[in-house]
Amino acid sequence: MSDISKSDWLGEPENPAPADPTAAARGPGKPALPKRFYERAGLAAHGDGFRLTLDGRPANTPARNPLVLPTDALAEAVVAEWAAQVAVIDPATMPLTRLANTAIDGVASRRDAVVDDLSAYAGTDLLAYRAGDPDRLVRAQGEAWDPVLDWARDALGARFILGEGVMHVTQPDTTVAALRRAIAETEGPFRLAALHTLTTLTGSLVLALAVLRGRLSPAEAWAAAHVDETYQASVWGRDAEAEARHALRQAEFEAAARLASLARVG
């Protein structure tokens, strides 16, 4: 059967409803979420992977590439996201699907560019920049970050020079090269896409690699990335809006870590 007719990755029914004139009259604004148009989300074998199907019709990504997942574990998790949609299809509740689309459309054909982008973090890693005071924050950073840097030295061959404050610290060429090798060794576009998300959300390539390679749990890495914020909150109190933004970013981080785990082949 042919692919689903669609204008974007969410797809459309074969006979879409006419436009709502009332909504059109309200003018531009947050786009309405599309109604759920399928009864059943499923999977079909596709090469070495599994393609999402909606009522038996194969689904595509936003760039109209086949939405194919590399493992049955990740495929089942993506199907569960689609099955969980009720009256409308809300991408905000489908983080694995969104990350899978990124992997297929934005990483698979641009692997070298993504490796280059991630390699830039090797010279600016969060864990290399330390506070000079107060003592409690200095101690908290050391307790959270030093063991991870020890792991990066022993497991990856990346030895960091630490600096105080925000002044740039030039890292050894051998450290940058070692981290670039670790990035390049990441298997497949899905795990590389996850690594990119983990890195950009924390500002630390080392923490991201530690999650990808099982040295840290997602919760441990997220806590380590936010030692400074935790200290500031203990001194000044918590802000509700900032906490809400923090929770959204943490959920995205955890979804990326989950995708990396589910996408591991073998």
Residue-wise pLDDT tens digits, 39-60: 999 999 999 999 999 999 999 9
Residue-wise pLDDT for 76-131, tens only, equals: 999 999 999 999 999 999 999 999 999 999 999 999 999 999 999 999 999 999 99
With a pLDDT cut of 90, the percent of the chain lying above it is 83
Structural domains in the chain plus CATH codes = 21-91 (3.30.2180.10), 111-262 (1.10.3580.10)
Residue keyed to tokens 């441990």: 220
pTM of the predicted structure, to 2 decimals? 0.88
What pLDDT is recorded for position 30?
63
Q: Are strands 57-58 and 49-54 parallel, antiparallel or unpaired?
A: antiparallel
What pLDDT is recorded for position 19?
38
Instruction: Evaluate the CA torsion angle 207, 209, 215, 221 in order and state its sign.
Output: positive
- Which SS3 state, helix, strand or coil, does residue 130 take? strand
**Are the C-beta atoms of 126 and 221 separated by less than 8 Å?**
no
Calpha distance 55→6 (Å, rounded): 14
Label residue 29 by pLDDT band (50, 70, 90).
low
What pLDDT is recorded for position 166?
84
Cα angle value 9/1/190 (rounded, 5°): 40
Average pLDDT of the residues in 200-223:
98
Calpha distance 62→25 (Å, rounded): 27
Calpha distance 246→153 (Å, rounded): 30
What pLDDT is recorded for position 265?
87
Q: Residue 4 above 60 pLDDT?
A: no
Q: Residue 16 above 50 pLDDT?
A: no
Calpha distance 186→205 (Å, rounded): 13
Residue-wise pLDDT for 152-176, tens only, equals: 999 999 999 999 988 899 999 999 9
**Are the C-beta atoms of 35 and 89 separated by less than 8 Å?**
yes
Residue-wise pLDDT for 116-149, tens only, equals: 999 999 999 999 999 999 999 999 999 999 999 9
Calpha distance 12→17 (Å, rounded): 10
